[in-house]
Chain A
Amino acid sequence: MKIDEKSNYSEQLQPNPAKIGQQMDLNEVEAFSPWKDTWRQLRKNRFATTGAMVILFFILLGLLAPFITAYPYAEQNLVERLKPPSAEHWLGTDHLGRDIFTRIAYGARISLQVGFFAVTGALVFGTLLGVIAGYFGRWIDMIISRIFDILLAFPSILLAISVVAILGASLQNALIAIAIINIPIFGRLVRSRVISLREEEYIMAARAQGMKNGRILFHHILPNSIAPIIVQSTLGFGTAILEAAALGFLGLGAQPPTPEWGKMLAESRDFIQLAPWTLIAPGISIMLVVLGFNLIGDGLRDALDPKMKN
């Protein structure tokens, strides 16, 4: 069965004996990857598209903040303090006369950044530790898993408070704290995924072909565990933003005059009866962003789950 000779003949003249009895599909089928399939599923999901739209709105709001509003976010105007929403101040002003819409727009930058960096940090370290624990097992797994258990034993906000207390109160340290408390969540997820994948036959096939551990980990195990990681990242985005707001509310995150949404809530809580709009705007913003990420996360989970495929 020499291929070089055979290529001189057309398929009809000399049929490949190995193909006898097989029903051949003559028209070529488009090769579609699992990712394209996921994308199609996701676009069909109305909740996920809504979530994506909400997030896109806040991203644009943050990016275009200097062009949308004429006010700087920290400019005080005590004459105009606690004004209700009007044509000049779309969402009213706070107790120092700062335009709330401006602060929400600039605050979107901060919240999305916190979400992004905290999730990325937790993702990178959590995945790394999880993969190592899951793939190599035994005492390495033992040590890493116990560290995760210890981190998870603390209430997350308490852990974040202690981290910030050690490092000092600033947005950056709040971000580090949030990343740390999210590490075990990613770590355990990845570890369990790797442990189940390690027993898959195609991983054994990879070893049978003589692949090195690194190649098996990064070309076979990790790409197959990416689906739950993506879902958890999206959901984690929301949680991280919420945690940053909580730290800001407690005065442990961003410091004034940074327009951080949680901080804005904390500053305006004394005026809740006098000027409820000062609370409603940042509160609803936080809710919308977190909801948006959760909707995308849920949509992704459905789209990536092979059992949900029809």
Chain B
Amino acid sequence: MVAKPLLEVKGLKKYFDVKGGVFGRKVGEVKAVDDVSFTVMEGEILGIVGESGCGKSTTGKSILRLIEPTDGEVTFDGQNIASLKSEQLRKIRRDMQIIFQDPYASLNPRHTVEKIISEPLLIHGMKHAAERKKRVRELLEIVGLNAYHASRYPHQFSGGQRQRIGIARALANHPKLIICDEPVSALDVSVQSQILNLMEELRDAFQLTYIFIAHDLSVVKHISDRVAVMYLGRMAELADKDVLYADPKHPYTKALLSAVPIPDPDEKKEAIILEGDIPSPANPPTGCAFHTRCPVAMSVCKEVRPTFKMVDQDHYVACHLYE
């Protein structure tokens, strides 16, 4: 696929202050996202995987500046998002949307579906009510609901249907990029596949680009073109889906992939069981963040943080084994 980059993230950081003491002074910081860089090509689906708490969602929300990033550059369609004024940012938001994890929390319970989907149309300049109404009906059909659902309230829908409403809302203004923040992890397995198929169809129909955040490796494998693995706020590995799943380089990726169950009881495989717990991002280990649990850690891993660099064709790894 010859494509130009749609989104470039360079050195993205998000530190949350930890306040303590009588006067609420800053006593430390949680490095939720620590120097993350990657590029998303136009029309591709980039999956981001990692354990819970590794900063996947924070990365997604920082790109949209729903959470103000501490540092870093986010270039979307030639514009640096991180430096935009609030009014410019408001305007560019029609081109970059987000689908949230929890379909029960992401829809306003006091609004009808009609209002939920038509509001983004209204604020981005579709003034005529009839026009909005038509577009809402159209969007509902696109995401597999019916036009008459428009007059209902979110609590009258199932989880999967609500997620479809969330998708319709994100699609309303023909966005270029949609960040999917674990869009199926709150759903039933049978509903998950429906939503995933819908999202793939929509990508093809509307030339969308997705950043697909998930903790389910099989889901990411199913939908993504390229996959990034995050650990403790940092990028561990980034490669083409097939390459990553067939030939993982980073010891963390290897461990992660070995944990995926194989639906065949006779097939034996060697699972790499990691020792210990994930360290606190408030006090990350020195050097490589993974060295405390890494089965092949060397002495250099404790001292020097490995750089995230290309070791193979389009295969990026942050590990001293490949220096």
Q: Which residues of A contact B (CB under 8 A)?
A: 1, 3, 6, 16-22, 24, 28-29, 31-34, 200-202, 204-212, 215, 219-220, 223-224
Pick the interface stretch among B138-146, B209-217, B222-230, B247-255: B138-146
What are 6 A-B pairs at a CB distance below 8 A? A18-B201, A19-B144, A21-B190, A206-B119, A208-B97, A210-B92
How far apart are the CA atoms of A267 and B93 in the complex, in Å?
Answer: 67
Residues in chain A near residue B138, CB distance under 8 A: 3
Beyond A205-B100, A210-B92, 6 additional contacts (C-beta under 8 Å) are A33-B112, A34-B109, A34-B155, A200-B105, A211-B90, A220-B108
Q: Contacts A1-B142, A205-B98: A21 and B201 contacting too (C-beta < 8 A)?
A: no
Is B291 in contact with chain A by the CB < 8 A criterion? Answer: no
Q: Contacts A1-B201, A207-B66: A18 and B143 contacting too (C-beta < 8 A)?
A: yes
Residues in chain A near residue B4, CB distance under 8 A: none
**Interface contact B108-A224, CB-CB below 8 Å:** yes
B153's partner among A1, A3, A32, A200 (CB-CB below 8 A) is A32
How far apart are the CA atoms of A202 and B66 in the complex, in Å?
Answer: 12
**Interface contact B100-A201, CB-CB below 8 Å:** yes
Residues in chain A near residue B61, CB distance under 8 A: 204
Q: Give min CB distance, A107 to chain B, whole Å.
A: 39
Q: How many residues of B contact A (CB 8 A)?
A: 46
**Interface contact A205-B160, CB-CB below 8 Å:** no
Q: Give min CB distance, A39 to chain B, whole Å.
A: 15
Residues in chain B near residue A210, CB distance under 8 A: 89-94, 120, 123-124
Residues in chain B near residue A1, CB distance under 8 A: 142, 201, 205
**Interface contact A202-B90, CB-CB below 8 Å:** no
**Interface contact A3-B64, CB-CB below 8 Å:** no
A201's partner among B102, B142, B155, B201 (CB-CB below 8 A) is B102
A205's partner among B142, B144, B169, B201 (CB-CB below 8 A) is B169
**Interface contact B156-A29, CB-CB below 8 Å:** yes
Q: Contacts A22-B160, A208-B66, A223-B110: A31 and B93 contacting too (C-beta < 8 A)?
A: no
Residues in chain B near residue A29, CB distance under 8 A: 152, 156
B93's partner among A6, A209, A223 (CB-CB below 8 A) is A209
User: Ordered nearest first, which 3 A-B pairs have the shortest CB separation?
Assistant: A18-B144, A210-B93, A201-B105
Residues in chain A near residue B169, CB distance under 8 A: 205, 209
How far apart are the CA atoms of A16 and B94 in the complex, in Å?
Answer: 26
Q: Give min CB distance, A284 to chain B, whole Å.
A: 40
Q: Which residue of A lies closest to B87 (CB)?
A: A212
**Interface contact A28-B123, CB-CB below 8 Å:** no
How far apart are the CA atoms of A195 and B277 in the complex, in Å?
Answer: 33
Residues in chain A near residue B89, CB distance under 8 A: 210
How far apart are the CA atoms of A19 and B98 in the complex, in Å?
Answer: 22
Q: Give min CB distance, A126 to chain B, whole Å.
A: 21
With a 10 A CB-CB cut-off, give which of A16, A202, A207 has the most chain B CB atoms.
Answer: A202
Is B198 in contact with chain A by the CB < 8 A criterion? Answer: yes
Q: Which residue of B lies closest to A209 (CB)?
A: B120
Q: Which residue of B lies closest to A205 (CB)?
A: B106
Residues in chain B near residue A20, CB distance under 8 A: 194
How far apart are the CA atoms of A29 and B93 in the complex, in Å?
Answer: 34
Question: Would you give the 0/1 interface string for B148-159, flagging 1 where the beta carbon is closer than 8 Å to chain A?
Answer: 100111011000
Residues in chain A near residue B98, CB distance under 8 A: 205, 208
With a 10 A CB-CB cut-off, give which of B91, B110, B153 has the most chain A CB atoms.
Answer: B110
With a 10 A CB-CB cut-off, give which of A17, A24, A29, A33 has the most chain B CB atoms.
Answer: A33
Q: Which residue of B lies closest to A26 (CB)?
A: B146
Q: Give min CB distance, B40 to chain A, whole Å.
A: 17
Q: Give min CB distance, B188 to chain A, whole Å.
A: 12
Residues in chain A near residue B112, CB distance under 8 A: 31, 33
B194's partner among A6, A21, A224 (CB-CB below 8 A) is A21
